[in-house]
């Protein structure tokens, strides 16, 4: 098994999947356990993860995300939703407006790396109609979808995209 740094280097956004190959339940379980191990403000885990595997529901998510076909093509789509009221109980408005969103996105980042470690691929989708996604997953307005993640075995691996040099991204204060 490769180390963490190899896992990070192998993570790419994949938008073509082997639609006839399902995600094994034990791998999906490991991915979800990893997501739930992510740090969260006050350990409140102010998020919910909805696993969408039904063809019609994935198609509805595709529509909600502006027609991005790979969402329906992938055999699974994970919806990461923030629960602002859960953070607000402990942290007030900042918890509701920021911490719950951070909690959901940190869990999604952990899941995305776990997908790679499990030998699969994913793509993070942030552009979608929240109300339409909420309707697909059967949630109330209290829950705020913040990320969709297609998951499956890649049909192709894209070339790595260039990254900005560290000097342009990182600053040091002494």
Asked if residue 17 is part of any domain, the answer here is: no
Give tens-digit pLDDT for 136-172: 999 999 999 999 999 999 998 877 788 898 889 999 9
Examine residue 82 and state whether it is found in any structural domain, yes or no: yes
- Report the CATH number at residue 50: 3.40.109.10
Domains contained in the chain, number:
1
CA distance 148 to 71: 8
Measured from the Cβ of residue 84, the count of other Cβ atoms closer than 10 Å reads 22
Residue 149: domain span: 23-155
Taking the C-alpha atoms of residue 64 and residue 135, their distance in angstroms, rounded to an integer, is 10
For 20-77, write each residue's pLDDT tens digit: 899 999 999 999 999 999 999 999 999 999 999 999 999 999 999 999 999 999 999 9
For 44, other C-beta atoms within 10 Å of its C-beta total: 17
Quote the pTM value.
Answer: 0.92
Q: Residue 21's closest CA among 53, 50, 68, 49?
A: 53
Would you state the pLDDT for residue 135?
A: 98
pLDDT value for 4 = 84
Whether residue 12 lies inside any domain: the answer is no
What is the four-CA torsion angle of 7, 62, 34, 38, rounded to 10 degrees?
A: 100
């Amino acid at each position: 098994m490769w180390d963490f740094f190899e896992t990070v280097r192998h993570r790419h956004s994949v938008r073509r999947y082997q639609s006839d190959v399902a995600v094994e339940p034990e791998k999906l379980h490991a991915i979800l356990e990893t997501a739930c191990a992510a740090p969260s403000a006050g350990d409140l885990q102010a998020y919910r993860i909805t696993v969408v595997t039904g063809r019609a529901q994935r198609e509805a998510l595709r529509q909600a995300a502006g027609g991005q076909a790979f969402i329906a093509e992938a055999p699974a789509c994970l919806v990461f939703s923030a629960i602002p009221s859960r953070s607000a109980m402990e942290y007030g408005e900042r918890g509701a407006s920021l911490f719950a969103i951070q909690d959901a996105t940190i869990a999604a980042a952990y899941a995305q790396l776990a997908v790679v470690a499990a030998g699969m691929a994913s793509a993070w989708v942030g552009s979608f109609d929240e109300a339409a996604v909420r309707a697909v997953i059967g949630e109330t307005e209290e829950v705020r979808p913040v990320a969709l993640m297609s998951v499956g075995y890649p049909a192709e691996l894209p070339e790595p995209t260039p990254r900005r040099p560290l000097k342009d991204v990182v600053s040091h204060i002494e």
